[in-house]
């Protein structure tokens, strides 16, 4: 049976983490600016404190500007759903979050590495799908990220994980129609 995939990203109207808070040293060796999108850091990242603007409604998935496009800020509720599915290489880092001067418990940095799949830039959709289907690292995986070629560089979620996220009322998430596995 052919799998059905959707793109997965943060919603356009959700909160955005804009800075690491006052006094954060972006040039320090453990700064989030030294985190790469394609590898786990060889250091314990200093997340300092994530300050969310007072006017935002806190959601289960939050975009972060200061941390490179390697993942998202996720709630413990969303993390528990993710943990019940197979996901490609990822890590969770505890994340102190403050909103309206109060600590918001149980938020995490979800670092999702891109899957090392070699898809040629000129590959047709059918060719890309065949490469993905034959990739051992993606067998029975419900969430993964592709970093190339650019037209396929997205996070993809399997339909059963999408349904679990929706049924559990997770917020701040946008699903789209994928070019692959429609």
Per DSSP, the three-state class of 107 is strand
Nearest to 177 by CA among 161, 149, 160, 157: 157
- Residue 1 has a pLDDT of 43
137 located within any domain = yes
At 6, the pLDDT band (50, 70, 90 cuts) reads very high
Q: Which range marks the domain in which residue 107 is found? A: 5-177
182 located within any domain = no
46 located within any domain = yes
162 located within any domain = yes
Q: pLDDT tens digits, residue range 112-133?
A: 999 989 999 999 999 998 999 8
Q: Looking at per-residue confidence, does 107 or 178 come out higher?
A: 107
Q: Which residue reads 């998935």 in tokens?
A: 61
| Structural domain count, the chain | 1
- Global pTM? 0.91
120 located within any domain = yes
72 located within any domain = yes
Q: pLDDT tens digits, residue range 67-96?
A: 866 789 999 999 999 999 999 999 999 999
Q: Which residue reads 């998202």 in tokens?
A: 72
């Amino acid at each position: 049976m052919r799998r059905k995939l959707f793109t997965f990203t943060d919603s356009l109207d959700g909160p955005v983490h804009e800075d690491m808070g006052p006094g954060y040293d972006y040039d320090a060796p453990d700064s989030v600016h030294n985190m790469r999108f394609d590898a786990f850091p060889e250091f314990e990242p200093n997340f300092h404190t994530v300050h969310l603007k007072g006017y935002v409604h806190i959601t289960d998935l939050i975009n972060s500007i200061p941390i490179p496009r390697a993942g998202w800020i996720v709630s413990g509720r969303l993390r528990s759903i993710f943990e019940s599915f197979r996901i490609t290489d990822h890590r969770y880092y505890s994340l102190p979050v403050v909103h309206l001067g109060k600590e918001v418990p149980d938020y995490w940095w979800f670092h999702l590495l891109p899957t090392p799949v070699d898809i040629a830039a000129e590959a047709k959709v059918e060719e890309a799908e065949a490469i993905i289907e034959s990739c051992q690292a993606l067998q029975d995986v419900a969430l993964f990220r592709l970093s190339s070629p650019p037209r396929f560089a997205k996070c993809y979620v399997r339909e059963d994980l999408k349904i679990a996220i929706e049924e559990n009322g997770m917020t701040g998430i946008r699903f789209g129609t994928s070019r692959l596995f429609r």
